[in-house]
Amino acid sequence: MNTHTKPLRGMTRRQLLTGATAMGAFVIGSGYVAGSNAAWATEMQAMSPEGFATLVQMARDIYPHDRVADEYYAAAVKGYDTQDKAEMAEQGIAALNARAMEMKGDDYLNIGWERDRVDVLRSMEDDAFFQTVRGGLVTGLYNQKAIWPIFGYEGESYSQGGYINRGFDDITWVG
């Protein structure tokens, strides 16, 4: 799963993006390039790589889980990278960047601290775009079975005979 390659420290995300596009892969998140053979690498269908990378960062800032890798946030918002949704998403990202510029003097992706990006998001949280992205993430992110183990959640248990012999009452610190 985790097939990140080559951490590229010391480059701006914009440089990464440019490089990545040239390499025929796309870049997400904080300093890693996904090889084109990586499980999560995804080719842009309709969105710009910059726009998509911003959307992924926005997704992480809405529901930040430091132990959940970018690939899952990317998967959660990949649905916007379609002919009929890309325009809406790009417009939303453009508005986000405009607000980021106004409030913090830079594009959203270039704001270094989560706290500052969250300020920008808070100022837009009643907007339709924010609500659409947030609402979609509730299932788009948390319904990915691959992230459940990170939270300890075990998913279905019927195929294993339930928990009757597998620790339904194995708590040790009470009783």
Q: Which two tokens stand for residue 58?
A: 């926005």
Site string for other proteins, 53-82 (x = CB under 8 A): --------xxxxx-x---------------
113 interacts with other proteins by CB under 8 A: no
Neighbours of 85 (CB within 10 A): 14
Instruction: Tell me how far apart the alpha carbons of residues 90 and 61 are, in angstroms, rounded to a whole number.
Output: 18
100 interacts with other proteins by CB under 8 A: no
Q: Which CB, 33 or 141, lies closer to other proteins?
A: 141
174 interacts with other proteins by CB under 8 A: yes
Evaluate whether 1 touches 72 at the Cβ level (below 8 Å): no
Evaluate whether 6 touches 39 at the Cβ level (below 8 Å): no
Smallest distance from other proteins to CB 117, Å: 11
116 Cβ neighbours under 8 A, 6+ residues apart: 104
Smallest distance from other proteins to CB 161, Å: 6
**Binder of other proteins out of 125, 128, 132, 136 (CB under 8 A):** 125
156 interacts with other proteins by CB under 8 A: yes
Smallest distance from other proteins to CB 57, Å: 14
33 interacts with other proteins by CB under 8 A: no
Q: Which two tokens stand for residue 92?
A: 């939303």
C-alpha to C-alpha distances, 4 to 27, 52, 57, 80, nearest whole angstrom:
10, 18, 17, 23
**CA-based nearest residue to 68, from 1, 122, 134, 125:** 1
Site string for other proteins, 134-153 (x = CB under 8 A): x---xx-xxx----x--xxx
Query: Rule CB under 8 A: which residues touch other proteins?
Result: 61-65, 67, 118, 125, 134, 138-139, 141-143, 148, 151-158, 161-164, 166-171, 173-175
